[in-house]
Amino acid sequence: MRLLVEQLAARAWPAAEAVAADGWLLRHTPALTRRRSNSALPVGDAPHARVVEEFYARRGRRALVQIAPAEVRGGLDRELARMGWTSDGPTDVLIADAATVLARTRPGAVAIAPAVDASWVAMWAACEGRPDADAHADEVLARIEPATGYAVAGEGEGVGLAVCEAGWAGLFCVATAPAARRRGVAGAVVHALTRWATERAARRIYLQVETANAAAHALYASTGFKRSHGYHYRLAPAS
């Protein structure tokens, strides 16, 4: 199940270039700096790091590997650590039954659209408090192939999106505007996206939360999510 969730998550946030080679999914997105858009995901048995190093060297980047699931890729992680690759970005993957999430959250004034537009991207950037968060985001979102719903709470108090595939829905970009926090906005967004996903045959929900984000962990624990596994990144030494 953990491997399936990682594969679904990779499809839900697609890179501009994704190449399957020698047990790896090699991802490259020149316009973005986000790690998951520019890292290699192990998808086969005992992958060797050389193909990763060569792939990113040809693109002028330091090689980056997403150790996911960390509980399954311990051997790879230890080997890269021995080679001097540094660790960063510890993240937890949480899962829940959709029925449980619906029972533990409340509906609110949330609208869901089947396609993204510039206003949604701008609201997401505002909620994140990062003016540059929307840079090239529309390019990533336009590449998503599975059914996707884009949520907006009120007049931009909160946003989020869900990507449905194979009976699962991944929640991404769930964020609340600073002035609207602690008002149940995030819970309402999660409820609306989960409801939308169940109407498209999703029965289980997954999402990713940075390990150090205590507030998000508390929110999702209260709505029925439990930790499935973790991942982190390994960055190759500078040449």
What pLDDT, in 10s, does the model give residues 41-66? 999 876 789 999 999 999 999 999 99
CA angle 60, 62, 84 (to 5 degrees): 155
Q: What do you get for the CA distance between the two ends of the chain, in Å?
A: 37
> Quick one: which H or E segment has residue 19?
strand 17-21
Tell me the C-alpha to C-alpha distance, in Å, between residue 185 and each of 88, 160, 189.
30, 11, 6
Q: How far apart are CA 34 and CA 19, in angstroms?
A: 18
Mean pLDDT across 136-154: 90
Mean pLDDT across 158-168: 97
Q: Where are the beta strands (DSSP E) in 142-214?
A: 147-153, 158-165, 168-176, 204-210
Q: How far apart are CA 202 and CA 198, in angstroms?
A: 5
pLDDT of residue 137: 75
Report the mean per-residue pLDDT for the chain: 93
pTM: 0.94
Q: Is the pLDDT of residue 130 over 80?
A: no
pLDDT category, 134, cuts 50, 70, 90?
low
Q: What is the pLDDT of residues 95-123, one digit of tens each?
A: 999 999 999 999 999 999 999 888 999 99
